[in-house]
Amino acid sequence: MQTNKLPILLLHGALGAASQFQPLAAALAEHYDVHTLNFSGHGDVPFSEQGFSIQVFAAEVLSYLESKQLDFVHIFGYSMGGYVAMYLARHYPEKTGRVITLATKYNWNEATAGKEVRQLNPILIEEKVPAFARVLEARHTANDWKTVVTRTAQLIEELGHQSLLKHPDYAQVASPCMLMMGDHDNMVSFQETIEVYKTLPLAQLTVMPDTSHPLEKADVPLLAYYIKRFTTQQI
């Protein structure tokens, strides 16, 4: 169906799913042609035979755009979804409009990856945070949630050994980007976000007040306001 609204694609984070974007999608629907998808292995989508990686997820975005006959799309990526969005902006600029990331970790090395991997133990999650285990079980209907956690840990470990985006890559990103983070985010540092912000040729930095890492903690009307402001302003 033809629409004059700007197309925007919302990309979920690690252990996440498109269903988490329902409030934000509703807030954006008046002004945007809103699209969401589940990366393979998440939500109701089985694992891909191609693997479980940033590159595979980026390829799935490209396939989705082709299936919807979208020549380009603005992208909002939360956490890992923001990393996928930036990877697409670096390697497929012709498909990528403006990029907005929230709570995206950019500084991947063995130390930072190791810290995240230690928290991605399904046995400990089930024992220490059973409520979160139940959320993951309900969210990932196509796969065993414990396998999703394990494969996510492997993905992060691989990023720690070989980061896909380094400073020379960010310097080559032609898309205007807005990097957003919460002022109370304990997973993403101001330092790594500011370093990438300074490296990108066309970038803005936005700090969300009284906001921690989980997407559910974000102020949806404020987030929608910043997205609309950034995608419609002259740069």
Per-residue pLDDT at 4: 81
Per-residue pLDDT at 55: 98
State the first-to-last Cα distance of the chain, in angstroms, to the nearest integer: 30
- The model's pLDDT over 164-181, given as tens digits with 9 standing for 90+, comes to 999 999 999 999 999 999
Q: Which residues contact 89 (CB under 8 A, 6 or more apart)?
A: 75, 96, 99, 173, 174, 175, 177
Instruction: Identify the structural domains of the chain with CATH numbers, from first to last.
Output: 6-105+165-232 (3.40.50.1820)
Say if CB 174 and CB 93 are below 8 A apart.
Answer: yes
Residue 2 has pLDDT above 70, yes or no: no
- The model's pLDDT over 14-59, given as tens digits with 9 standing for 90+, comes to 999 999 999 999 999 999 999 999 999 999 999 999 999 999 999 9
φ, ψ for residue 52 (rounded to 5)? -135, 90
φ, ψ for residue 174 (rounded to 5)? -85, -20
Per-residue pLDDT at 41: 98
- DSSP single-letter state for residue 79: T
Alpha-carbon separation of residue 209 from 167, 182, 190, 204, 220 (angstroms): 27, 6, 13, 16, 12
Residue 234 has pLDDT above 90, yes or no: no
Q: Is the pTM of this model over 0.85?
A: yes
